[in-house]
Amino acid sequence: MKAQNILAVSVLGCSFGLCQDNVNWISVNEDNPSFSLSSSNISYQFHVDPLTLDLVHDHWGAYAAETVPDFDGVISGWGGPYTYRRREFPDLGRGDFRVPAIHIQHSDGDTVSAFSYTGYDVSAGKPSLPGLPATFGGEGDVSTLIVHLYDNYSNISADLYYSIFPRYNAIARSFRITNNGSQDVTILRASSWSVDMPNEELEMIDLHGDWAAETRINRRSVVYGEQGFRSSVGYSSHFHNPFLALAPPSTTESLGPAIGYSLIYTGSFSADVERWSTGWVRVLLGLNPLHLSWPVAPGDTFTSPEVVSVYSEHGLGGMSRSFHSLYKNHLSRSNYTFETRPPLLNSWEGLGFDFNQTSMVNLAEQAAELGCTLFVNDDGWFGTDYPRNNDSLGLGDWTPNPAKFPDGLGPYVEQVDNITIKNSSEHMEFGLWVEPEMVNPDSDLYKQHPEWCMHAGTHNRTLQRNQLVLNLGLSEVQEYIITVIERILDSAPIRYIKWDNNRGMHEMPSPSANHAYMLGLYRVIDNLTTAHPEVLWEGCASGGGRFDPGLLHYWPQSWTSDDTDGLERLYIQFGTSYPYPPSSMACHVSAVPNHQTGRTTPLAFRAAVASMCGSFGFELDPSTLDQDELDAIPSLIATQQKINPIVINGDFYRLALPDQSNWPAAMFVSPEADSAVLFAFQIRSALKPIPPPLKLQGLDANAKYKVGNGTWEQTWYGSTLLNVGLSLGWPQADYQSIILTLDKQ
Ligand code: DGJ
């Protein structure tokens, strides 16, 4: 008889069509150790090789009742036995010639590791990761399996943490390395997730880009050899996002299997996919080895960041909805995650650095006339000896510029707060921009503490945007930032903070400085967001340079791109929505011709695109708008505010991608499918072909829905909307948009 250890937990609800009771989420066969993390939708399975005590992967995907090894026979070839195994935690130096998940250098210089299985633990719930952002959940949400490995030659233990979130078809994974020896060791490579998938035809989907061109969807075949992408920027970066998906070529937005992987981390990362001679596909996601070399002293532990993987049998759309729901419910810890966000006006594109208290209050008054309820003073408000009148001055000196704000922030914010919003009894609220991780050489801070910036000995300290990165790995820098932000928040009623970050890391004192910086950054942000949950925090890094799950743990939203052109934003927002919920995107309407692209699109189009995000606003000087535009804005805000709750709380369906259709469309459906909002766009006016019917998703087929836009309405069955679709009539004009609401009758 085989011994079974089963953790039984009762699931409290249903989602994604999944309802379960008393499901055994983690089962362990102790005789021939094998492990299964399963719900009725997914299974993640592996076993211990009885000869080598290595962990061998069996299955990750749709639910399977039994663990069946993929290939248990002998495979002959030039590799060692470890080469011809689908491994769970591949180390280096024993004849597995693929890219390893873990690579450790010992004090005598060798880099061989020999981890063997020693035991396991199972617990309900999920432990937190010391110093790192991670998913969280209680006993009814998640269960955790910890598998213990030991390298007897070097006295290093590895504990692999697997947590299953059954409601979201998700597995979270990280590991801890403990040095039980008497000499220092160095971790050269740490991939939080590693899995060897079977020999199947696969495509890899990831998001690449650059400044003002983030999250372009990249889909290609997984071929023999290594393929992957990385950020060596020091941050998650615009160039590649720490996310990838693997799916058969037949998988579409709504059909077929897909597995997504998302790294909860803000620093340099590496995603490596390697198809080996056997056809097996190794998937690694974790820290970038170029920015690691992490020393672990005797008795110390290193914790890897966490990767979340989700399985979907409803295409890439299903994968995204799993990520969205998991991240909203079990990653984001902000009070605002499920809250409607205030419509705002941000000063950056309208006034730049050229303002003073009078012009700012005037801008806030114009914002109130339009119906905005939050006014954000962007860059340029600080600096005394080096006033921030352009981007070469003042970063680091977080005191209000006395030439612009003679009495400091307090009286200025009071003036803004006294402004009444048009047609409302509400008063304006105030938000402020900061960039605390940076310093200009022309600043009091740099003159006092030149050693605080990231630098490498006597190497040149290369400037980018005229600034240097402060080394947040230093505790004195962490304390400085906490103190200055606390002082700013104490000086005036500040409702919102936009935390910007505008360059990558160049010269670093050592490769490990990047991870030390991240631990310092997380400490600072953890401290401030815990102390100030009432503040609406927004991340930004020259647009979407740090749109990653690490920061979404602390901040509910992030500025999506500095490219505010409506058309470009469609591509960027659809791409960003692969892993990240639209509720976490901040999107603004700017003036035309657009600052970045020179393109002119209608105001209604720009507003519709921006309304697909959690945080909506304007980034322009209203005094430059014509009267028609000024007259239109209040009703655009009213529409946006009406649909904002469902944009924030609903399930998101990409109906047609801008990459593939002249008529891109998306919709949000409430969790009970009793209401929805549809966004549809026409990019170019086209006589032929005519638009395809727009088949909706996520509705109750048997229910009737009233579909309308305020001036027109019609009632249809869900089955008609799902299976026949809407034929929208488009005017003969470029850049058109339609927003329709659907209410169950
Ligand atoms: C880059 C951001 O992405 C912009 O929105 C703006 O805040 C500027 N920095 C200010 O310097």
For the Cβ of 559 lying below 6 angstroms from any atom of ligand 1, the answer is yes
Q: Is 540 in the pocket of ligand 1 (CB under 6 A)?
A: yes
CB-based burial of residue 568 (10 Å sphere; 0-12 exposed, 13-18 middle, 19+ buried)? buried
299 burial via Cβ count (<10 Å: 0-12, 13-18, 19+): exposed
How far, in Å, is the centroid of ligand 1 from the Cα of 438? 13
Question: What is the whole-number distance in angstroms between the Cα of residue 222 and the centre of ligand 1?
Answer: 37
What are the CA-CA distances from residue 248 to residues 127, 199, 259, 325 (Å)? 34, 11, 10, 24
Is any atom of ligand 1 closer than 6 Å to the C-beta of 381? no
CA of 191 to the centre of ligand 1 (A): 32
Q: For atom 6 of ligand 1, which residue has the closest CA?
A: 348
- 322 is written with which tokens? 């799993």
User: Does residue 387 surpass a pLDDT of 60?
Assistant: yes
* Residue in 632, 631, 633, 635 with CA at minimum distance from that of residue 619: 633
- Residue 638: the pLDDT is 97
Given a cut of 70, whether residue 550 has pLDDT beyond it is yes
What's the pLDDT at 281?
98
Tens digits of per-residue pLDDT, 636-658?
Answer: 999 999 999 999 999 999 999 99
Three-state DSSP class for residue 641? helix
Point out which residues pair with 219 in neighbouring strands. 205
Q: What is the pLDDT of residue 694?
A: 98
C-alpha angle 363/555/132, rounded to 5°? Answer: 150
Decide: 348 in ligand 1 pocket, CB within 6 A. yes
In the numeric block, the tokens 């500025």 are attached to 559
C-alpha dihedral over 385, 391, 396, 397, to 10 degrees? 30
In sequence order, the β-bridge partners of residue 286 are 270
| Residue 160 CA, ligand 1 centroid: distance in Å | 40
102, pLDDT greater than 90: yes
Is a pLDDT exceeding 70 seen at residue 222? yes
**Residue minimizing CA distance to atom 9 of ligand 1:** 542
C-beta of 214 in contact with ligand 1 (< 6 A): no
CA 498–ligand 1 middle distance (angstroms): 9
Other CB atoms within 10 A of residue 684 CB? 11
**Residue identifier of the C-alpha nearest atom 11 of ligand 1:** 379
**Tens digits of residue pLDDT in 249-272:** 999 999 999 999 999 999 999 999
Closest ligand 1 atom to 433 CA? 7
Pairwise CA distance, residues 542 & 228, whole Å: 24
Tell me the CA distances in angstroms from 714 to 225, 608, 711, 738, 744, one per residue in order: 55, 21, 11, 15, 12
Q: Once rounded to an integer, what is the mean pLDDT over residues 234-246?
A: 98
Which among 206, 562, 563, 651 is annotated as catalytic? 562
Ligand 1 touching residue 382 (CB < 6 A): no
Q: How many CB atoms lie within 10 A of CB 405?
A: 20
- Contact predicate 688/658, CB 8 Å: no
- 68 vs 143, higher pLDDT: 143
What is residue 506's predicted lDDT score, i.e. its pLDDT?
98
- The C-alpha atoms of residue 275 and residue 283 are separated, in whole angstroms, by 9
Q: Which of 377, 542, 594 has the most ligand 1 atoms within 8 A of CB, as the residue to mutate?
A: 542
Q: Quick check: 388 pLDDT over 60? A: yes
**DSSP labels, 267-331:** S-EEEEEEE-TTS-EEEEEEE-GGG--EEE-TT-EEEPPEEEEEEESBHHHHHHHHHHHHHHHHT
Q: How many Å separate Cα 310 from the centre of its chain?
A: 14
d(C-alpha 308, C-alpha 605), whole Å? 35
Read off the pLDDT of residues 13-43 as tens digits, 9 standing for 90 and up.
Answer: 334 333 333 347 999 999 899 999 999 999 9
Q: Which atom of ligand 1 is nearest to the CA of 348?
A: 6
DSSP 505-533: --S-SSTTHHHHHHHHHHHHHHHHHHH-T
Cα of 379 vs centre of ligand 1, distance in Å, is 7
C-alpha angle with apex 20: 18 to 25, nearest 5 degrees? 105
> What per-residue confidence (pLDDT) applies to 73?
73
Percent of the chain with pLDDT over 90: 94
- Rounded Cα gap, residues 540 and 524, in angstroms: 16
Of all protein residues, whose CA lies closest to atom 3 belonging to ligand 1? 542
Among 238, 437, 465, 559, residue to substitute to test ligand 1 (most atoms within 8 Å of Cβ): 559
- Over residues 590-611, mean pLDDT: 98
- Single out the catalytic residue among 58, 206, 442, 500: 500
Task: Give distance in angstroms: CA of 483 to centre of ligand 1.
Answer: 23
**Cβ atoms within 10 Å of 417's Cβ, excluding its own:** 16
583, 558 Cβ separation under 8 angstroms: no
Half-sphere exposure of 461 (CA within 13 A, CB side): 20
Q: Is the CB of 340 under 6 A from ligand 1?
A: no
Q: Give the position, in ligand 1's atom list, of the atom nearest the Cα of 619.
A: 5
Structure-token pair, residue 712 = 């027109």
In this prediction, residue 72 has a pLDDT band, given cuts at 50, 70 and 90, of low
- Mean of the pLDDT values across residues 545-552? 98
Mean pLDDT computed over 121-147: 97
Residue 70: pLDDT band (50, 70, 90) is low
Position 118 scores a pLDDT of 98
- Residue to mutate, 540, 585, 620, ligand 1, most ligand atoms under 8 Å from C-beta: 540
Which of 433, 496, 547, 572 gets mutated to test ligand 1 (max ligand atoms within 8 A of its CB)?
A: 433
Strand partners, 143: 124, 164
Distance CA 618, CA 616 (A): 7
- DSSP lists the bridge partners of residue 15 as 18
Give pLDDT tens digits for 329-344.
999 999 999 999 999 9
Looking at ligand 1, which residue's alpha carbon is closest to its atom 4?
542
Strand intervals (E) in 88-169: 102-105, 116-124, 143-151, 156-165
Cβ distance 369 to 400 under 8 Å? no
CB of 379 within 6 A of ligand 1: the answer is: yes
* 461 CA from centroid of ligand 1 (Å): 23
Residue at 153: amino acid letter: Y
Beta bridge partners of 262: 243, 308
Q: What is the distance between the alpha carbons of residues 579 and 262, in angstroms, rounded to a whole number?
A: 7
Q: Which residues pair with 585 in a beta bridge?
A: 558
**Residue 7: pLDDT above 80?**
no
Rounded Cα gap, residues 240 and 224, in angstroms: 22
* Residue 500 is among the residues annotated as catalytic for this protein: yes
Alpha helices in 532-672 (DSSP H): 549-552, 566-576, 603-611, 627-649
Categorise residue 542: left if φ over 0, alpha if ψ from -120 to 50, beta otherwise.
left
> How do residues 480-499 score in pLDDT, each as one tens digit?
999 999 999 999 999 999 99
Indicate the SS3 state at residue 207. Answer: strand
User: Is the pLDDT reported for residue 116 higher than 50?
Assistant: yes
Q: Which of 531, 566, 720, 571 is nearest to 658 (CA)?
A: 571
| Average pLDDT over the chain, rounded to an integer | 95
State percent of the chain over pLDDT 70. Answer: 96
Check residue 16 and give its pLDDT: 39
| R_g of the chain, CA atoms, integer Å | 26
The per-residue pLDDT for 8 is 36
Give the model's pLDDT for residue 21: 36
Rounded to the nearest angstrom, the distance between the alpha carbon of 349 and the centre of ligand 1 is: 9
On the question of pLDDT at 692 being above 80, the answer is yes
Question: For every residue of 533-572, which 3-state class applies, written as one string?
Answer: CCCEEEECECCECCCCHHHHCCCCEEECCCCCCHHHHHHH
pLDDT for residue 11 is more than 50: no
> Which amino acid is it at 505?
M
Report all structural domains of the chain as residue ranges with CATH numbers, in order of start. Answer: 6-330 (2.70.98.60), 344-649 (3.20.20.70), 665-744 (2.60.40.1180)
pLDDT score, position 66: 87
Token reading at 251: 């998988």
pLDDT surpassing 60 at residue 392: yes
From the CA of 739, how far away is ligand 1's center (Å)? 29
Atom of ligand 1 nearest to the CA of 498: 7
Q: Could you confirm whether 385 is annotated as catalytic?
A: no
CA torsion angle 346 351 352 356 (round to 10): -100
